[in-house]
Structure 1
Protein backbone atom coordinates (compact mmCIF):
# COMPACT_ATOMS: atom_id res chain seq x y z
CA UNK A 1 0.00 0.00 0.00
CA UNK A 2 2.85 2.35 0.91
CA UNK A 3 4.64 1.51 -2.33
CA UNK A 4 1.51 2.31 -4.37
CA UNK A 5 1.12 5.65 -2.57
CA UNK A 6 4.74 6.58 -3.21
CA UNK A 7 4.41 5.62 -6.87
CA UNK A 8 1.35 7.84 -7.17
CA UNK A 9 3.20 10.77 -5.59
CA UNK A 10 6.13 10.29 -7.96
CA UNK A 11 3.80 10.16 -10.98
CA UNK A 12 2.01 13.34 -9.84
CA UNK A 13 5.34 15.12 -9.36
CA UNK A 14 6.52 14.05 -12.82
CA UNK A 15 3.24 15.25 -14.39
CA UNK A 16 3.42 18.61 -12.63
CA UNK A 17 7.03 19.06 -13.67
CA UNK A 18 6.18 18.15 -17.27
CA UNK A 19 3.40 20.74 -17.40
CA UNK A 20 5.66 23.36 -15.85
CA UNK A 21 8.32 22.66 -18.47
CA UNK A 22 5.76 23.17 -21.21
CA UNK A 23 4.94 26.60 -19.81
CA UNK A 24 1.54 25.79 -18.33
CA UNK A 25 0.52 27.39 -15.06
CA UNK A 26 -2.31 26.12 -12.85
CA UNK A 27 -5.48 28.21 -12.69
CA UNK A 28 -6.75 25.96 -9.90
CA UNK A 29 -4.36 24.70 -7.23
CA UNK A 30 -6.58 21.77 -6.23
CA UNK A 31 -6.93 23.08 -2.68
CA UNK A 32 -8.44 26.56 -2.73
CA UNK A 33 -10.37 28.97 -4.95
CA UNK A 34 -7.45 31.39 -5.00
CA UNK A 35 -7.39 33.29 -8.29
CA UNK A 36 -11.16 33.05 -8.80
CA UNK A 37 -14.28 34.98 -7.82
CA UNK A 38 -17.95 35.02 -8.74
CA UNK A 39 -18.71 37.21 -11.74
CA UNK A 40 -19.22 40.87 -10.73
CA UNK A 41 -18.61 39.97 -7.07
CA UNK A 42 -15.54 39.89 -4.86
CA UNK A 43 -15.94 36.44 -3.30
CA UNK A 44 -16.78 32.89 -4.37
CA UNK A 45 -20.32 31.55 -3.93
CA UNK A 46 -20.69 28.83 -1.30
CA UNK A 47 -21.94 26.25 -3.82
CA UNK A 48 -18.45 26.05 -5.35
CA UNK A 49 -16.65 23.55 -3.14
CA UNK A 50 -13.07 22.31 -3.36
CA UNK A 51 -13.40 18.55 -2.91
CA UNK A 52 -10.73 15.92 -3.55
CA UNK A 53 -8.76 18.14 -5.91
CA UNK A 54 -11.81 19.27 -7.88
CA UNK A 55 -13.96 22.38 -8.11
CA UNK A 56 -17.43 21.01 -7.52
CA UNK A 57 -20.64 22.94 -8.00
CA UNK A 58 -22.33 21.24 -5.05
CA UNK A 59 -26.00 22.17 -5.02
CA UNK A 60 -26.41 20.74 -1.52
CA UNK A 61 -24.22 23.55 -0.15
CA UNK A 62 -25.85 26.35 -2.11
CA UNK A 63 -26.55 29.00 0.54
CA UNK A 64 -27.99 32.48 0.20
CA UNK A 65 -24.90 33.61 -1.73
CA UNK A 66 -25.52 30.81 -4.23
CA UNK A 67 -22.86 29.80 -6.69
CA UNK A 68 -22.71 31.97 -9.77
CA UNK A 69 -20.22 31.71 -12.61
CA UNK A 70 -16.64 31.53 -11.37
CA UNK A 71 -14.25 33.81 -13.26
CA UNK A 72 -10.50 34.19 -13.17
CA UNK A 73 -9.09 37.28 -11.54
CA UNK A 74 -6.83 37.72 -14.55
CA UNK A 75 -7.63 38.40 -18.20
CA UNK A 76 -6.09 36.46 -21.08
CA UNK A 77 -5.51 37.17 -24.76
CA UNK A 78 -3.80 34.42 -26.79
CA UNK A 79 -3.77 31.25 -24.70
CA UNK A 80 -3.79 27.47 -24.54
CA UNK A 81 -6.17 26.24 -21.83
CA UNK A 82 -6.48 22.67 -20.55
CA UNK A 83 -9.10 21.35 -18.14
CA UNK A 84 -11.01 18.23 -17.17
CA UNK A 85 -14.76 18.13 -16.56
CA UNK A 86 -17.55 15.75 -15.69
CA UNK A 87 -21.27 16.29 -15.16
CA UNK A 88 -24.07 14.69 -13.19
CA UNK A 89 -27.00 13.20 -15.14
CA UNK A 90 -29.07 15.84 -17.00
CA UNK A 91 -26.50 18.55 -16.22
CA UNK A 92 -25.44 21.62 -18.21
CA UNK A 93 -22.40 23.86 -17.75
CA UNK A 94 -19.72 25.41 -19.91
CA UNK A 95 -16.25 26.90 -20.11
CA UNK A 96 -16.69 30.55 -21.13
CA UNK A 97 -13.82 32.75 -22.31
CA UNK A 98 -13.05 36.27 -23.57
CA UNK A 99 -15.42 37.62 -20.92
CA UNK A 100 -15.63 41.32 -20.23
CA UNK A 101 -16.39 41.71 -16.53
CA UNK A 102 -18.41 44.89 -16.12
CA UNK A 103 -21.57 45.68 -14.11
CA UNK A 104 -23.26 46.76 -17.35
CA UNK A 105 -23.21 43.10 -18.41
CA UNK A 106 -25.45 40.76 -16.45
CA UNK A 107 -23.57 37.51 -16.99
CA UNK A 108 -20.39 35.92 -18.32
CA UNK A 109 -22.22 34.77 -21.46
CA UNK A 110 -23.24 38.37 -22.20
CA UNK A 111 -19.84 38.82 -23.85
CA UNK A 112 -17.97 35.49 -23.72
CA UNK A 113 -17.70 32.48 -26.03
CA UNK A 114 -18.49 29.02 -24.66
CA UNK A 115 -17.23 25.50 -25.15
CA UNK A 116 -20.27 23.47 -24.13
CA UNK A 117 -20.19 21.07 -21.16
CA UNK A 118 -23.28 18.85 -21.19
CA UNK A 119 -25.01 15.54 -20.64
CA UNK A 120 -25.95 15.22 -24.32
CA UNK A 121 -28.57 12.54 -23.75
CA UNK A 122 -30.10 13.80 -20.53
CA UNK A 123 -30.31 17.58 -20.91
CA UNK A 124 -32.75 19.29 -23.33
CA UNK A 125 -29.90 21.27 -24.92
CA UNK A 126 -28.62 17.98 -26.31
CA UNK A 127 -31.46 18.08 -28.81
CA UNK A 128 -30.35 21.47 -30.17
CA UNK A 129 -27.74 21.75 -32.91
CA UNK A 130 -24.54 23.50 -31.75
CA UNK A 131 -25.54 23.07 -28.09
CA UNK A 132 -23.90 19.68 -27.47
CA UNK A 133 -20.74 18.87 -25.53
CA UNK A 134 -17.66 20.23 -27.29
CA UNK A 135 -19.56 22.62 -29.55
CA UNK A 136 -18.65 26.28 -29.75
CA UNK A 137 -22.01 27.10 -28.23
CA UNK A 138 -24.66 28.19 -30.76
CA UNK A 139 -22.00 28.95 -33.38
CA UNK A 140 -20.03 25.93 -34.58
CA UNK A 141 -21.04 22.27 -34.31
CA UNK A 142 -18.38 19.73 -33.30
CA UNK A 143 -16.99 17.74 -36.21
CA UNK A 144 -17.35 14.59 -34.07
CA UNK A 145 -18.51 13.69 -30.56
CA UNK A 146 -15.75 12.00 -28.56
CA UNK A 147 -17.49 12.88 -25.27
CA UNK A 148 -17.44 10.21 -22.55
CA UNK A 149 -20.47 8.83 -20.68
CA UNK A 150 -22.00 10.87 -17.87
CA UNK A 151 -20.00 10.58 -14.67
CA UNK A 152 -16.69 10.01 -16.47
CA UNK A 153 -13.98 12.65 -16.82
CA UNK A 154 -13.49 14.46 -20.13
CA UNK A 155 -10.31 16.33 -21.05
CA UNK A 156 -10.77 19.54 -23.02
CA UNK A 157 -8.48 22.13 -24.57
CA UNK A 158 -9.06 25.60 -25.98
CA UNK A 159 -6.32 27.16 -28.09
CA UNK A 160 -6.72 30.74 -29.27
CA UNK A 161 -3.90 32.51 -31.06
CA UNK A 162 -4.04 35.48 -33.42
CA UNK A 163 -7.74 34.89 -34.00
CA UNK A 164 -7.38 31.18 -34.79
CA UNK A 165 -9.53 29.13 -32.41
CA UNK A 166 -9.26 25.37 -31.86
CA UNK A 167 -11.37 23.27 -29.49
CA UNK A 168 -10.19 19.79 -28.53
CA UNK A 169 -12.19 17.17 -26.63
CA UNK A 170 -10.55 13.98 -25.36
CA UNK A 171 -7.65 14.42 -27.75
CA UNK A 172 -9.83 15.01 -30.83
CA UNK A 173 -9.99 18.37 -32.58
CA UNK A 174 -13.72 19.08 -32.77
CA UNK A 175 -13.87 22.77 -33.77
CA UNK A 176 -11.59 25.03 -35.82
CA UNK A 177 -12.64 28.55 -36.73
CA UNK A 178 -11.37 32.10 -37.04
CA UNK A 179 -12.51 34.82 -34.69
CA UNK A 180 -13.39 38.44 -35.50
CA UNK A 181 -13.19 38.27 -39.29
CA UNK A 182 -16.09 38.66 -41.76
CA UNK A 183 -17.02 34.98 -41.52
CA UNK A 184 -17.11 35.30 -37.73
CA UNK A 185 -19.49 38.21 -38.03
CA UNK A 186 -21.74 36.05 -40.22
CA UNK A 187 -21.67 33.24 -37.65
CA UNK A 188 -22.67 35.65 -34.89
CA UNK A 189 -25.39 37.19 -37.09
CA UNK A 190 -26.91 33.73 -37.54
CA UNK A 191 -26.84 32.91 -33.83
CA UNK A 192 -28.85 33.82 -30.72
CA UNK A 193 -26.22 36.49 -30.05
CA UNK A 194 -26.97 38.50 -33.21
CA UNK A 195 -28.49 41.45 -31.35
CA UNK A 196 -26.33 41.26 -28.22
CA UNK A 197 -24.21 44.40 -28.08
CA UNK A 198 -20.45 43.72 -28.00
CA UNK A 199 -20.91 39.93 -27.83
CA UNK A 200 -17.87 38.01 -29.09
CA UNK A 201 -15.86 41.15 -29.84
CA UNK A 202 -13.36 41.17 -26.98
CA UNK A 203 -9.85 39.95 -27.79
CA UNK A 204 -8.81 39.68 -24.14
CA UNK A 205 -10.96 38.63 -21.25
CA UNK A 206 -11.57 36.42 -18.26
CA UNK A 207 -12.30 32.70 -18.19
CA UNK A 208 -15.33 31.25 -16.40
CA UNK A 209 -16.77 27.99 -15.13
CA UNK A 210 -20.51 28.24 -15.58
CA UNK A 211 -23.13 27.72 -12.90
CA UNK A 212 -26.13 26.61 -14.95
CA UNK A 213 -27.91 25.31 -11.85
CA UNK A 214 -26.65 21.74 -12.35
CA UNK A 215 -23.99 19.65 -10.66
CA UNK A 216 -20.59 19.74 -12.38
CA UNK A 217 -16.94 19.12 -11.52
CA UNK A 218 -13.73 20.66 -12.92
CA UNK A 219 -10.09 19.83 -12.24
CA UNK A 220 -6.58 20.07 -13.71
CA UNK A 221 -7.26 23.58 -14.99
CA UNK A 222 -4.09 25.08 -16.43
CA UNK A 223 -3.13 27.72 -18.98
CA UNK A 224 -0.21 28.81 -21.11
CA UNK A 225 -0.17 32.32 -22.50
CA UNK A 226 0.85 32.37 -26.15
Structure 2
Protein backbone atom coordinates (compact mmCIF):
# COMPACT_ATOMS: atom_id res chain seq x y z
CA UNK A 1 0.00 0.00 0.00
CA UNK A 2 1.16 3.53 -0.81
CA UNK A 3 0.15 7.13 -0.09
CA UNK A 4 0.81 8.72 -3.48
CA UNK A 5 3.51 10.98 -2.00
CA UNK A 6 6.49 10.61 -4.32
CA UNK A 7 9.87 10.33 -2.58
CA UNK A 8 12.20 10.23 -5.57
CA UNK A 9 12.44 10.28 -9.34
CA UNK A 10 14.43 7.58 -11.14
CA UNK A 11 15.22 6.47 -14.67
CA UNK A 12 13.63 3.33 -16.07
CA UNK A 13 15.19 0.93 -18.55
CA UNK A 14 14.54 -2.60 -19.75
CA UNK A 15 16.60 -5.53 -18.53
CA UNK A 16 16.43 -9.29 -18.85
CA UNK A 17 13.08 -10.44 -17.42
CA UNK A 18 11.82 -7.05 -16.37
CA UNK A 19 12.92 -3.47 -15.74
CA UNK A 20 15.76 -1.74 -13.95
CA UNK A 21 15.54 1.52 -12.02
CA UNK A 22 18.51 3.86 -11.91
CA UNK A 23 18.18 6.13 -8.89
CA UNK A 24 20.33 9.29 -8.71
CA UNK A 25 22.44 9.59 -5.57
CA UNK A 26 20.61 12.75 -4.47
CA UNK A 27 17.12 11.49 -5.35
CA UNK A 28 15.96 10.96 -1.77
CA UNK A 29 15.57 7.16 -2.04
CA UNK A 30 18.54 4.99 -1.06
CA UNK A 31 18.46 1.63 -2.91
CA UNK A 32 20.57 0.17 -0.10
CA UNK A 33 17.62 0.69 2.26
CA UNK A 34 15.46 -1.63 0.16
CA UNK A 35 15.31 -5.37 0.83
CA UNK A 36 14.67 -8.10 -1.68
CA UNK A 37 10.91 -8.56 -1.92
CA UNK A 38 10.10 -4.97 -0.94
CA UNK A 39 7.37 -3.18 -2.86
CA UNK A 40 8.04 0.09 -4.65
CA UNK A 41 5.53 2.14 -6.63
CA UNK A 42 7.04 3.00 -10.03
CA UNK A 43 4.88 5.63 -11.74
CA UNK A 44 2.03 4.24 -9.67
CA UNK A 45 2.72 0.58 -10.47
CA UNK A 46 3.49 -1.69 -7.51
CA UNK A 47 6.67 -3.64 -8.35
CA UNK A 48 8.72 -6.08 -6.27
CA UNK A 49 12.45 -5.59 -5.78
CA UNK A 50 14.25 -8.68 -7.14
CA UNK A 51 17.81 -7.38 -7.20
CA UNK A 52 19.66 -4.40 -5.76
CA UNK A 53 22.72 -2.50 -6.87
CA UNK A 54 24.60 0.60 -5.82
CA UNK A 55 22.72 2.58 -8.44
CA UNK A 56 19.18 1.22 -8.15
CA UNK A 57 17.19 -1.98 -8.29
CA UNK A 58 15.57 -4.45 -10.67
CA UNK A 59 11.98 -5.70 -10.76
CA UNK A 60 10.03 -8.30 -12.71
CA UNK A 61 7.09 -7.02 -14.76
CA UNK A 62 4.24 -9.21 -15.99
CA UNK A 63 2.67 -9.02 -19.44
CA UNK A 64 -0.54 -7.71 -17.85
CA UNK A 65 1.31 -4.81 -16.26
CA UNK A 66 3.15 -3.94 -19.47
CA UNK A 67 -0.12 -3.97 -21.42
CA UNK A 68 -2.08 -1.85 -18.94
CA UNK A 69 0.51 0.77 -18.03
CA UNK A 70 3.07 3.12 -19.59
CA UNK A 71 6.08 1.22 -18.21
CA UNK A 72 6.99 -0.48 -21.51
CA UNK A 73 7.09 2.79 -23.44
CA UNK A 74 9.05 4.57 -20.70
CA UNK A 75 11.56 1.74 -20.35
CA UNK A 76 12.20 1.73 -24.09
CA UNK A 77 13.21 5.40 -24.04
CA UNK A 78 14.85 5.34 -20.59
CA UNK A 79 12.17 7.65 -19.27
CA UNK A 80 11.91 9.21 -15.82
CA UNK A 81 9.45 7.77 -13.30
CA UNK A 82 8.10 8.61 -9.84
CA UNK A 83 9.18 6.33 -6.98
CA UNK A 84 7.60 5.63 -3.59
CA UNK A 85 8.48 2.75 -1.23
CA UNK A 86 5.62 0.92 0.43
CA UNK A 87 3.81 2.50 3.37
CA UNK A 88 4.61 1.38 6.91
CA UNK A 89 1.70 1.11 9.35
CA UNK A 90 3.28 3.80 11.56
CA UNK A 91 3.69 6.28 8.67
CA UNK A 92 1.52 9.31 8.15
CA UNK A 93 -1.07 8.99 5.40
CA UNK A 94 -0.44 12.36 3.79
CA UNK A 95 -2.04 11.51 0.44
CA UNK A 96 -4.69 8.81 0.04
CA UNK A 97 -4.73 5.01 -0.03
CA UNK A 98 -3.06 3.94 -3.28
CA UNK A 99 -2.80 0.23 -4.05
CA UNK A 100 -0.32 0.45 -6.91
CA UNK A 101 -2.75 -1.48 -9.11
CA UNK A 102 -3.23 0.80 -12.11
CA UNK A 103 -6.75 0.78 -13.57
CA UNK A 104 -5.73 2.11 -16.97
CA UNK A 105 -4.12 4.91 -18.85
CA UNK A 106 -5.15 8.49 -19.45
CA UNK A 107 -4.19 11.13 -21.97
CA UNK A 108 -2.97 14.67 -21.31
CA UNK A 109 -5.53 17.05 -22.82
CA UNK A 110 -4.07 20.34 -21.59
CA UNK A 111 -1.26 21.74 -19.45
CA UNK A 112 -1.65 25.37 -18.45
CA UNK A 113 0.54 27.42 -16.13
CA UNK A 114 -1.43 29.66 -13.78
CA UNK A 115 -0.23 32.27 -11.26
CA UNK A 116 -0.03 29.84 -8.31
CA UNK A 117 -0.35 26.40 -9.87
CA UNK A 118 -0.54 24.34 -13.06
CA UNK A 119 -3.85 23.22 -14.55
CA UNK A 120 -3.54 19.64 -15.77
CA UNK A 121 -6.45 18.22 -17.81
CA UNK A 122 -6.63 14.46 -18.30
CA UNK A 123 -8.98 12.05 -20.06
CA UNK A 124 -9.41 8.34 -19.32
CA UNK A 125 -8.56 6.12 -22.30
CA UNK A 126 -11.46 3.93 -21.16
CA UNK A 127 -14.24 6.41 -20.30
CA UNK A 128 -16.04 3.80 -18.17
CA UNK A 129 -13.61 4.57 -15.34
CA UNK A 130 -15.05 8.08 -15.20
CA UNK A 131 -17.72 6.77 -12.84
CA UNK A 132 -15.11 6.80 -10.06
CA UNK A 133 -14.31 10.48 -10.58
CA UNK A 134 -16.10 13.41 -8.99
CA UNK A 135 -15.24 16.88 -7.78
CA UNK A 136 -12.70 16.73 -4.90
CA UNK A 137 -12.17 12.99 -5.38
CA UNK A 138 -8.70 11.51 -5.04
CA UNK A 139 -6.89 10.03 -8.03
CA UNK A 140 -3.35 8.71 -8.52
CA UNK A 141 -1.64 10.07 -11.64
CA UNK A 142 1.66 8.28 -12.34
CA UNK A 143 1.64 7.36 -8.67
CA UNK A 144 1.02 10.90 -7.39
CA UNK A 145 -1.89 11.52 -5.04
CA UNK A 146 -3.90 14.38 -6.53
CA UNK A 147 -7.31 15.97 -6.02
CA UNK A 148 -9.86 16.40 -8.80
CA UNK A 149 -10.76 20.07 -9.10
CA UNK A 150 -13.62 19.44 -11.52
CA UNK A 151 -14.71 16.95 -14.15
CA UNK A 152 -17.07 16.35 -17.04
CA UNK A 153 -20.55 14.96 -16.38
CA UNK A 154 -19.39 11.39 -16.95
CA UNK A 155 -16.04 11.90 -15.19
CA UNK A 156 -14.10 10.69 -18.23
CA UNK A 157 -12.32 14.05 -18.46
CA UNK A 158 -11.13 15.88 -15.37
CA UNK A 159 -8.65 18.53 -14.33
CA UNK A 160 -6.26 18.95 -11.43
CA UNK A 161 -4.59 21.97 -9.84
CA UNK A 162 -0.95 21.02 -9.27
CA UNK A 163 0.96 23.05 -6.68
CA UNK A 164 4.57 24.13 -7.39
CA UNK A 165 6.13 21.66 -4.94
CA UNK A 166 4.47 18.67 -6.63
CA UNK A 167 5.22 20.05 -10.07
CA UNK A 168 8.91 20.57 -9.32
CA UNK A 169 9.60 17.27 -7.52
CA UNK A 170 7.80 14.80 -9.82
CA UNK A 171 7.63 13.91 -13.50
CA UNK A 172 4.48 16.00 -14.03
CA UNK A 173 6.67 18.87 -15.26
CA UNK A 174 7.69 16.66 -18.22
CA UNK A 175 4.14 16.05 -19.47
CA UNK A 176 3.14 17.34 -22.89
CA UNK A 177 -0.13 17.25 -24.86
CA UNK A 178 -1.03 13.72 -25.89
CA UNK A 179 1.27 12.00 -23.39
CA UNK A 180 -0.03 8.91 -21.63
CA UNK A 181 -0.20 8.58 -17.83
CA UNK A 182 -1.04 5.77 -15.41
CA UNK A 183 -4.30 6.31 -13.53
CA UNK A 184 -5.65 4.62 -10.43
CA UNK A 185 -9.10 5.58 -9.21
CA UNK A 186 -9.91 5.91 -5.52
CA UNK A 187 -9.74 2.44 -3.96
CA UNK A 188 -12.67 3.16 -1.62
CA UNK A 189 -14.93 4.08 -4.55
CA UNK A 190 -14.21 0.77 -6.29
CA UNK A 191 -14.86 -1.28 -3.16
CA UNK A 192 -18.08 0.63 -2.46
CA UNK A 193 -19.36 -0.02 -5.97
CA UNK A 194 -18.53 -3.73 -5.70
CA UNK A 195 -20.20 -4.15 -2.31
CA UNK A 196 -23.37 -2.34 -3.39
CA UNK A 197 -23.60 -4.46 -6.53
CA UNK A 198 -23.13 -7.66 -4.51
CA UNK A 199 -25.77 -6.65 -1.97
CA UNK A 200 -28.14 -5.85 -4.79
CA UNK A 201 -27.68 -9.27 -6.35
CA UNK A 202 -28.17 -10.95 -2.98
CA UNK A 203 -31.30 -8.87 -2.41
CA UNK A 204 -32.78 -9.93 -5.75
CA UNK A 205 -32.15 -13.57 -4.92
CA UNK A 206 -34.03 -13.20 -1.61
CA UNK A 207 -36.90 -11.21 -3.09
CA UNK A 208 -35.81 -7.86 -1.65
CA UNK A 209 -37.12 -4.66 -3.25
CA UNK A 210 -33.53 -3.53 -3.76
CA UNK A 211 -32.31 -4.17 -7.26
CA UNK A 212 -28.99 -3.59 -8.98
CA UNK A 213 -27.41 -2.40 -5.73
CA UNK A 214 -29.24 0.95 -5.72
CA UNK A 215 -30.15 2.73 -2.51
CA UNK A 216 -33.73 3.85 -3.14
CA UNK A 217 -36.20 5.79 -0.95
CA UNK A 218 -38.07 2.50 -0.44
CA UNK A 219 -34.94 0.72 0.75
CA UNK A 220 -34.13 3.57 3.16
CA UNK A 221 -37.66 3.51 4.62
CA UNK A 222 -37.48 -0.27 4.98
CA UNK A 223 -34.31 0.06 7.04
CA UNK A 224 -35.58 2.76 9.40
CA UNK A 225 -34.63 5.95 7.54
CA UNK A 226 -37.38 8.51 7.12
TM, length-normalised to structure 1: 0.28
| Larger Rg over CA atoms | 2
Highest RCO, 1 vs 2 (Cα 8 Å, sep ≥ 6): 1
- TM-score, with structure 2 as normaliser: 0.28
Structure with the largest fraction of helix? 2
